[in-house]
Amino acid sequence: SKDLLGIRELTVEEINLILDTATPMKDILKRKIKKVPTLRGRTIVTFFYEPSTRTRSSFDLAAKYLSADTIAISPSTSSVVKGESLKDTALTIEAMGANIIIIRHSAAGSPHLLAKTVRASVINAGDGTHEHPTQALLDMYTIREKKGTLKGLKVAILGDILHSRVARSNIWGLTKMGAEVRVTGPATLMPAEIEKLGVKVYMSVEEALEGVDVINVLRIQLERQQQGLFPSIREYARLFGLNKQRLALARPDALVLHPGPMNRGVEIAPEIADGTQSVIVEQVTNGVAIRMALLYLLSGEEDSNEITG
Protein backbone atom coordinates (compact mmCIF):
# COMPACT_ATOMS: atom_id res chain seq x y z
CA SER A 1 0.00 0.00 0.00
CA LYS A 2 1.02 3.63 -0.55
CA ASP A 3 0.18 4.67 3.03
CA LEU A 4 0.15 3.51 6.65
CA LEU A 5 -3.21 4.68 7.98
CA GLY A 6 -4.02 2.12 10.65
CA ILE A 7 -3.32 -1.35 12.01
CA ARG A 8 -6.89 -2.31 11.21
CA GLU A 9 -6.07 -2.21 7.48
CA LEU A 10 -2.89 -4.35 7.77
CA THR A 11 -2.63 -8.09 7.20
CA VAL A 12 -0.63 -10.41 9.46
CA GLU A 13 1.94 -10.72 6.65
CA GLU A 14 2.31 -6.94 6.38
CA ILE A 15 2.73 -6.61 10.16
CA ASN A 16 5.40 -9.35 10.13
CA LEU A 17 7.20 -7.65 7.22
CA ILE A 18 7.37 -4.34 9.10
CA LEU A 19 8.55 -6.02 12.34
CA ASP A 20 11.12 -8.13 10.46
CA THR A 21 12.44 -5.07 8.61
CA ALA A 22 12.88 -3.20 11.90
CA THR A 23 15.52 -5.69 13.09
CA PRO A 24 18.24 -4.74 10.55
CA MET A 25 17.29 -1.11 11.21
CA LYS A 26 17.90 -1.64 14.93
CA ASP A 27 21.29 -3.18 14.04
CA ILE A 28 22.16 0.05 12.22
CA LEU A 29 21.25 2.00 15.37
CA LYS A 30 23.22 -0.37 17.63
CA ARG A 31 26.32 -0.23 15.41
CA LYS A 32 26.10 3.56 15.79
CA ILE A 33 26.52 3.97 12.05
CA LYS A 34 25.31 7.52 11.80
CA LYS A 35 23.81 7.30 8.34
CA VAL A 36 23.09 4.90 5.50
CA PRO A 37 22.37 6.39 2.06
CA THR A 38 19.16 4.41 1.42
CA LEU A 39 16.71 7.32 1.22
CA ARG A 40 19.04 9.97 -0.19
CA GLY A 41 17.03 12.41 -2.32
CA ARG A 42 13.72 11.68 -0.57
CA THR A 43 11.87 14.41 1.31
CA ILE A 44 9.87 13.60 4.42
CA VAL A 45 7.56 16.12 6.07
CA THR A 46 6.24 15.90 9.63
CA PHE A 47 2.99 17.77 10.14
CA PHE A 48 1.80 17.60 13.75
CA TYR A 49 -1.39 19.39 14.82
CA GLU A 50 -1.03 17.91 18.33
CA PRO A 51 2.01 17.94 20.64
CA SER A 52 4.56 15.14 20.48
CA THR A 53 8.00 14.35 21.81
CA ARG A 54 8.63 10.70 20.88
CA THR A 55 6.73 10.21 17.62
CA ARG A 56 7.84 13.37 15.84
CA SER A 57 11.48 13.26 16.89
CA SER A 58 11.81 9.52 16.20
CA PHE A 59 10.39 9.94 12.68
CA ASP A 60 12.79 12.84 12.18
CA LEU A 61 15.77 10.80 13.41
CA ALA A 62 14.66 7.72 11.44
CA ALA A 63 14.55 9.80 8.25
CA LYS A 64 17.96 11.36 8.98
CA TYR A 65 19.59 7.95 9.69
CA LEU A 66 18.39 6.88 6.22
CA SER A 67 19.75 10.13 4.67
CA ALA A 68 16.37 11.60 3.71
CA ASP A 69 15.75 15.35 3.88
CA THR A 70 13.22 16.33 6.55
CA ILE A 71 11.01 19.33 7.16
CA ALA A 72 8.78 19.89 10.21
CA ILE A 73 5.66 22.01 9.76
CA SER A 74 3.96 23.29 12.90
CA PRO A 75 0.38 24.45 12.40
CA SER A 76 0.86 27.25 14.96
CA THR A 77 3.61 28.88 12.86
CA SER A 78 2.22 27.99 9.41
CA SER A 79 -0.60 29.39 7.27
CA VAL A 80 -2.99 27.02 9.06
CA VAL A 81 -3.45 29.92 11.52
CA LYS A 82 -4.66 32.04 8.56
CA GLY A 83 -7.35 29.46 7.86
CA GLU A 84 -5.69 27.28 5.21
CA SER A 85 -7.37 23.89 5.11
CA LEU A 86 -5.66 20.57 5.77
CA LYS A 87 -6.17 19.60 2.12
CA ASP A 88 -4.67 22.80 0.68
CA THR A 89 -1.77 22.62 3.13
CA ALA A 90 -1.07 19.04 2.08
CA LEU A 91 -1.23 19.86 -1.64
CA THR A 92 1.18 22.75 -1.02
CA ILE A 93 3.61 20.48 0.83
CA GLU A 94 3.40 17.89 -1.94
CA ALA A 95 3.95 20.52 -4.66
CA MET A 96 7.24 21.37 -2.93
CA GLY A 97 8.38 17.77 -3.43
CA ALA A 98 7.42 15.80 -0.33
CA ASN A 99 7.54 12.03 -0.83
CA ILE A 100 6.16 11.04 2.58
CA ILE A 101 3.87 13.12 4.82
CA ILE A 102 3.59 12.13 8.47
CA ILE A 103 0.54 13.60 10.17
CA ARG A 104 -0.84 13.80 13.71
CA HIS A 105 -4.26 15.38 14.04
CA SER A 106 -7.02 15.57 16.66
CA ALA A 107 -9.67 14.55 14.10
CA ALA A 108 -10.11 10.82 13.52
CA GLY A 109 -9.80 10.02 9.81
CA SER A 110 -7.72 13.06 8.79
CA PRO A 111 -4.77 10.92 7.54
CA HIS A 112 -7.26 8.94 5.42
CA LEU A 113 -8.56 12.18 3.88
CA LEU A 114 -5.02 13.31 3.19
CA ALA A 115 -4.07 9.97 1.61
CA LYS A 116 -6.88 10.39 -0.91
CA THR A 117 -5.76 13.95 -1.69
CA VAL A 118 -2.03 13.53 -2.32
CA ARG A 119 0.11 11.11 -4.32
CA ALA A 120 2.75 11.14 -1.58
CA SER A 121 2.69 8.38 1.04
CA VAL A 122 0.85 9.32 4.23
CA ILE A 123 1.69 7.92 7.67
CA ASN A 124 -0.78 8.27 10.53
CA ALA A 125 1.13 9.45 13.61
CA GLY A 126 -2.08 9.49 15.70
CA ASP A 127 -5.58 10.63 14.69
CA GLY A 128 -7.81 11.68 17.56
CA THR A 129 -8.91 8.69 19.64
CA HIS A 130 -8.87 6.43 16.56
CA GLU A 131 -5.43 4.89 15.79
CA HIS A 132 -1.72 5.28 16.51
CA PRO A 133 -0.36 2.53 14.27
CA THR A 134 3.37 3.17 14.66
CA GLN A 135 3.00 2.98 18.46
CA ALA A 136 1.29 -0.41 18.19
CA LEU A 137 4.00 -1.63 15.80
CA LEU A 138 6.78 -0.64 18.18
CA ASP A 139 4.88 -2.18 21.09
CA MET A 140 4.46 -5.45 19.18
CA TYR A 141 8.12 -5.35 18.13
CA THR A 142 9.23 -4.86 21.76
CA ILE A 143 7.05 -7.73 23.01
CA ARG A 144 8.10 -10.08 20.20
CA GLU A 145 11.77 -9.26 20.74
CA LYS A 146 11.54 -10.17 24.44
CA LYS A 147 9.10 -13.09 24.27
CA GLY A 148 9.99 -14.54 20.87
CA THR A 149 6.39 -14.49 19.65
CA LEU A 150 3.08 -12.70 20.07
CA LYS A 151 0.94 -15.77 19.49
CA GLY A 152 -0.69 -17.14 22.64
CA LEU A 153 0.56 -14.35 24.94
CA LYS A 154 -1.81 -12.81 27.47
CA VAL A 155 -1.64 -9.02 27.23
CA ALA A 156 -3.49 -6.68 29.61
CA ILE A 157 -4.14 -3.09 28.53
CA LEU A 158 -4.76 -1.01 31.65
CA GLY A 159 -6.24 2.46 31.91
CA ASP A 160 -8.06 5.06 29.86
CA ILE A 161 -9.23 2.81 27.03
CA LEU A 162 -11.97 5.26 25.96
CA HIS A 163 -9.64 8.02 24.78
CA SER A 164 -6.75 5.81 23.70
CA ARG A 165 -5.74 5.44 20.06
CA VAL A 166 -2.82 3.39 21.39
CA ALA A 167 -5.30 0.89 22.90
CA ARG A 168 -7.29 0.58 19.67
CA SER A 169 -4.22 0.04 17.48
CA ASN A 170 -2.76 -2.44 19.99
CA ILE A 171 -6.05 -4.35 20.14
CA TRP A 172 -6.28 -4.65 16.35
CA GLY A 173 -2.63 -5.66 16.06
CA LEU A 174 -2.29 -8.06 18.96
CA THR A 175 -5.53 -9.93 18.25
CA LYS A 176 -4.49 -10.33 14.58
CA MET A 177 -1.16 -11.73 15.74
CA GLY A 178 -2.85 -14.32 17.97
CA ALA A 179 -2.44 -12.78 21.44
CA GLU A 180 -5.20 -12.84 24.07
CA VAL A 181 -6.00 -9.22 24.87
CA ARG A 182 -7.61 -8.14 28.13
CA VAL A 183 -8.72 -4.56 28.80
CA THR A 184 -9.34 -3.05 32.22
CA GLY A 185 -9.77 0.34 33.86
CA PRO A 186 -12.50 2.57 35.28
CA ALA A 187 -15.98 1.87 33.88
CA THR A 188 -16.20 5.59 33.04
CA LEU A 189 -13.19 5.21 30.70
CA MET A 190 -14.29 1.96 29.01
CA PRO A 191 -15.89 2.31 25.55
CA ALA A 192 -19.27 0.70 24.97
CA GLU A 193 -19.11 -2.55 23.01
CA ILE A 194 -15.29 -2.76 23.21
CA GLU A 195 -15.63 -6.56 23.45
CA LYS A 196 -16.72 -6.49 19.78
CA LEU A 197 -13.03 -5.90 18.99
CA GLY A 198 -12.27 -9.39 20.29
CA VAL A 199 -10.97 -8.48 23.76
CA LYS A 200 -11.95 -9.66 27.22
CA VAL A 201 -13.23 -6.82 29.42
CA TYR A 202 -12.39 -6.97 33.14
CA MET A 203 -13.95 -4.58 35.63
CA SER A 204 -11.46 -5.83 38.25
CA VAL A 205 -7.87 -4.77 37.56
CA GLU A 206 -6.64 -7.57 39.82
CA GLU A 207 -8.45 -10.26 37.82
CA ALA A 208 -7.24 -8.76 34.54
CA LEU A 209 -3.58 -8.88 35.62
CA GLU A 210 -3.71 -12.47 36.92
CA GLY A 211 -1.10 -14.52 35.02
CA VAL A 212 -0.51 -12.08 32.13
CA ASP A 213 2.74 -11.96 30.10
CA VAL A 214 2.51 -8.25 29.31
CA ILE A 215 0.92 -5.18 30.91
CA ASN A 216 0.55 -2.15 28.66
CA VAL A 217 -0.22 0.83 30.90
CA LEU A 218 -1.98 3.78 29.30
CA ARG A 219 -1.68 7.44 30.11
CA ILE A 220 -4.63 9.20 31.69
CA GLN A 221 -5.44 11.72 28.96
CA LEU A 222 -6.39 14.75 30.99
CA GLU A 223 -6.60 16.86 27.82
CA ARG A 224 -9.38 14.67 26.40
CA GLN A 225 -11.60 14.43 29.52
CA GLN A 226 -14.96 15.99 28.67
CA GLN A 227 -16.35 16.71 32.17
CA GLY A 228 -13.62 16.33 34.76
CA LEU A 229 -12.02 13.00 35.53
CA PHE A 230 -13.92 10.42 37.47
CA PRO A 231 -12.34 8.87 39.40
CA SER A 232 -10.09 11.75 40.46
CA ILE A 233 -6.33 11.51 39.92
CA ARG A 234 -5.77 10.45 43.54
CA GLU A 235 -8.53 7.83 43.39
CA TYR A 236 -7.24 6.62 40.04
CA ALA A 237 -3.76 5.98 41.43
CA ARG A 238 -5.19 4.05 44.38
CA LEU A 239 -7.80 2.00 42.49
CA PHE A 240 -6.20 1.44 39.08
CA GLY A 241 -2.52 2.48 39.17
CA LEU A 242 0.09 -0.21 38.47
CA ASN A 243 1.96 -0.71 41.74
CA LYS A 244 4.10 -3.51 43.21
CA GLN A 245 1.12 -5.44 44.61
CA ARG A 246 -0.75 -5.42 41.30
CA LEU A 247 2.36 -6.26 39.26
CA ALA A 248 2.90 -9.31 41.50
CA LEU A 249 -0.35 -10.79 40.12
CA ALA A 250 1.14 -11.05 36.61
CA ARG A 251 3.69 -13.70 35.60
CA PRO A 252 7.06 -13.09 37.31
CA ASP A 253 8.62 -12.41 33.88
CA ALA A 254 5.81 -10.09 32.73
CA LEU A 255 6.85 -7.04 30.73
CA VAL A 256 5.61 -3.55 31.59
CA LEU A 257 5.04 -1.19 28.66
CA HIS A 258 3.90 2.43 28.58
CA PRO A 259 3.67 4.49 25.37
CA GLY A 260 4.66 7.72 27.19
CA PRO A 261 4.42 10.41 28.25
CA MET A 262 3.91 8.98 31.75
CA ASN A 263 2.00 10.46 34.65
CA ARG A 264 4.33 8.99 37.27
CA GLY A 265 2.54 8.15 40.49
CA VAL A 266 -0.85 8.14 38.74
CA GLU A 267 -1.20 5.27 36.26
CA ILE A 268 2.21 3.81 37.11
CA ALA A 269 4.30 3.86 40.29
CA PRO A 270 7.79 5.32 39.68
CA GLU A 271 9.52 2.17 41.00
CA ILE A 272 7.64 0.08 38.40
CA ALA A 273 8.41 2.52 35.58
CA ASP A 274 12.12 2.30 36.46
CA GLY A 275 12.04 -1.35 37.56
CA THR A 276 13.53 -4.50 36.03
CA GLN A 277 10.32 -5.53 34.25
CA SER A 278 9.89 -2.17 32.52
CA VAL A 279 10.78 -1.96 28.82
CA ILE A 280 9.64 1.65 28.47
CA VAL A 281 13.04 3.02 27.42
CA GLU A 282 13.55 0.17 24.92
CA GLN A 283 10.16 0.99 23.41
CA VAL A 284 11.52 4.41 22.50
CA THR A 285 14.62 2.96 20.78
CA ASN A 286 12.47 0.39 18.98
CA GLY A 287 10.25 3.26 17.85
CA VAL A 288 13.12 4.67 15.81
CA ALA A 289 13.79 1.24 14.23
CA ILE A 290 10.11 0.68 13.39
CA ARG A 291 9.85 4.15 11.81
CA MET A 292 13.04 3.55 9.79
CA ALA A 293 11.48 0.29 8.55
CA LEU A 294 8.28 2.05 7.53
CA LEU A 295 10.02 4.89 5.71
CA TYR A 296 12.13 2.33 3.89
CA LEU A 297 9.20 0.09 2.93
CA LEU A 298 6.97 2.99 1.85
CA SER A 299 9.77 4.41 -0.27
CA GLY A 300 9.77 1.20 -2.31
CA GLU A 301 13.45 0.64 -1.60
CA GLU A 302 13.10 -2.96 -0.42
CA ASP A 303 14.30 -4.31 -3.78
CA SER A 304 17.70 -2.67 -3.34
CA ASN A 305 18.85 -5.28 -0.74
CA GLU A 306 20.91 -2.55 0.85
CA ILE A 307 19.39 -3.06 4.31
CA THR A 308 17.97 -6.55 4.38
CA GLY A 309 20.79 -8.19 2.42
| Known binding positions | 54-55, 82, 104, 132, 135, 165, 219, 260-261
Closest distance to ligand CP from the beta carbon of 58 (Å) = 8
Nearest to 55 by CA among 286, 217, 301: 286
Strand order in the sheet with 214-217: 200-202, 180-184, 154-158, 214-217, 255-257
At its nearest, how many Å lie between ligand CP and the CB of residue 186? 21
Please give the annotated binding residues for L-aspartate, written as ranges: 82, 165, 219
CB of 248 to ligand CP, least distance (A): 27
Bridge partners, residue 122, by sequence: 101
Nearer to ligand CP, 224 or 234 (CB): 224
Q: How far apart are CA 42 and CA 36, in angstroms?
A: 13
Burial 215-239 (b: 16+ CB within 10 A, else e): bbbbbbbeeeeeeebeeeeeebbee
Q: Measured from the CB of residue 56, what is the shortest distance to ligand CP in angstroms?
A: 6
Q: Which residues bind ligand CP (CB under 6 A)?
A: 52-55, 126, 135, 259-261
Q: Kindly tell me which of 55 and 184 has the beta carbon lying closer to ligand CP.
A: 55
Q: Which is nearer to ligand CP, 50 or 84 (CB)?
A: 50
Contacts of 71 (CB under 8 A, 6+ apart): 43, 44, 45, 46, 98
Say whether the peptide bond before residue 111 is cis (omega within 30 degrees of 0): no
Nearest Cα to Cα of residue 59 among 75, 50, 71: 71
Which residues line the annotated binding site for carbamoyl phosphate? Answer: 54-55, 104, 132, 135, 260-261
Residue number with CB closer to ligand CP (113 or 284): 284
Report the alpha-carbon distance of residue 63 to residue 60 in Å, rounded. 5
Q: What is the C-alpha to C-alpha distance for residues 133 and 191, in angstroms, rounded to an integer?
A: 19
What's the min distance (Å) between Cβ of 232 and ligand CP?
Answer: 24
Residue 99 or 286 having the CB closest to ligand CP: 286
